[in-house]
């Protein structure tokens, strides 16, 4: 039982170690995308890709914001095969994104080359990059967004669960603003 008490205490600490104004800004970016008829594109690897799918669907379904993610095996393997795994995200953004879209890039370590290249491409394509990362405070991804949410942890699951809850909280804030 001690393990779980400490584990849940750690997650609670990380969840609350966020500037609430930054989460509010994320929700405002989601709302601005909806108002401008732009898309929100979510991208990640592994558990972060699963999270990207979940948040993307919820943002569209309950938040009324057009959203997508790049988790189709044929898309990912085609682009990775033709351009290299480290470049598939930037190529997907070139093919599917539009100037003015919001791109949410998720990497627990903040060092995934495909996600870092994607953040740079988003800016070059005149999209708005938002990053979610963890591990080292000076990770490369954390410097590339217009908004950069960071979890001070080196545990993948703690970082991923914190990202997930922060993102869904922003979605729920969008929904709450629609209801008021």
For the chain, which domains are there? 2-179 (3.40.50.10490)
Per-residue pLDDT, averaged over 143-154, amounts to 98
Query: What tokens were used for 37?
Result: 């008829």
* DSSP structural state of residue 87: G
Residue-level pLDDT at 25: 98
Residue-level pLDDT at 63: 97
Q: What is the CA radius of gyration of the chain?
A: 16
Cα torsion angle, 95, 98, 104, 110, sign: positive
Those residues whose C-beta lies under 8 Å from the C-beta of residue 85, and which sit 6 or more positions away, are: 113, 114
DSSP letter for each residue of 108-144? SSS--HHHHHHHHHHHHTT-EEEEEE-SSTT-GGGGS
Residue-level pLDDT at 144: 98
Is 103 strand, coil or helix? strand
Residue-level pLDDT at 180: 83
The pLDDT-based confidence of 38 (bands split at 50, 70, 90) is very high
pTM beyond 0.85: the answer is yes
* Nearest CA-CA partner of 42 in 166, 178, 177: 166
* DSSP structural state of residue 41: E
Give the strand pairing for 102-107 and 40-44.
Answer: parallel
Per-residue pLDDT, averaged over 90-107, amounts to 98
Helix (H) or strand (E) holding 81: helix 73-83
What's the mean per-residue pLDDT of the chain? Answer: 97
Residue 37: count of CB within 10 angstroms of its CB: 9
Measured between alpha carbons, how far is 173 from 160 in angstroms, rounded to an integer? 20
Per-residue pLDDT, averaged over 56-68, amounts to 98
Cα torsion angle, 173, 177, 178, 180, sign: positive
pLDDT for residue 118 is more than 90: yes
């Amino acid at each position: 039982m001690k393990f779980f008490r400490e584990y849940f205490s750690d997650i609670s600490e990380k969840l609350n170690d966020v500037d609430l104004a930054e989460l509010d800004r994320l929700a405002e970016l989601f709302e601005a995308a909806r108002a401008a008829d732009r898309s929100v594109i979510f991208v990640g690897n592994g558990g972060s890709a699963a999270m990207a799918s979940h948040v993307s669907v919820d943002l569209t379904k309950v938040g009324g914001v057009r959203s997508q993610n790049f988790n189709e095996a044929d898309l990912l393997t085609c682009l990775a095969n033709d351009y290299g795994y480290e470049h598939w995200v930037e190529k997907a953004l070139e093919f599917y994104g539009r100037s003015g879209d919001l791109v949410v890039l998720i990497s627990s370590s903040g060092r995934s080359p495909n996600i870092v290249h994607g953040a740079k491409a988003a800016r070059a394509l005149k999209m708005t990059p938002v990053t979610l990362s963890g591990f080292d405070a000076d990770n490369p991804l954390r410097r590339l967004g217009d908004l950069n949410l960071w979890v001070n942890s080196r545990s993948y699951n703690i970082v991923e669960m914190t990202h997930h809850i922060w993102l869904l909280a922003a979605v729920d804030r969008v929904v709450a603003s629609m209801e008021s």
